[in-house]
Chain A
């Protein structure tokens, strides 16, 4: 069975502070990991996926197979980063398994 755990429902940080959104997963094979973001009144959209190894909007995520984690990080939070963030994985089939999401709130 595949499972994604996001332990924090809400993460509140000050503007300019570092951000780390936690994601742990359970999957017996070799998963593909994603971070999706949903800004207020917008649709769910892909932020990044681990195989592309890109940095999008200053965010990065490293797949740690030993710890089965895929934490999302950004060195300096911006107000426009406030949103709902979902970690997701896909295995051999293309269905996505999502975590319950973490709301990031960036305050001045």
Chain B
């Protein structure tokens, strides 16, 4: 079956760095997405990786290793507004998105 694994919850301190991991087993691979979802709101797009390596976008970076079925989202200089759930999703060979359950990130002052 297809599976996306990410930690349920993480806690970090304001100003620090946090890495949220995502491992996947899917039928084919056509890219990996990260979305941010604040409580009670809709998910919003953060990043897309289809090739191995690191994609940097401001304070957020996303890494992909296709051979290991692994990705991480790196958040630097954490701010209180970064408290949210972070959703990992993989596009399979049928171009359908398979979603992880999300990682709830709690930022403490």
Q: Do A and B come from one complex?
A: no
Q: Which residues of A approach B to under 8 Å, CB–CB?
A: none
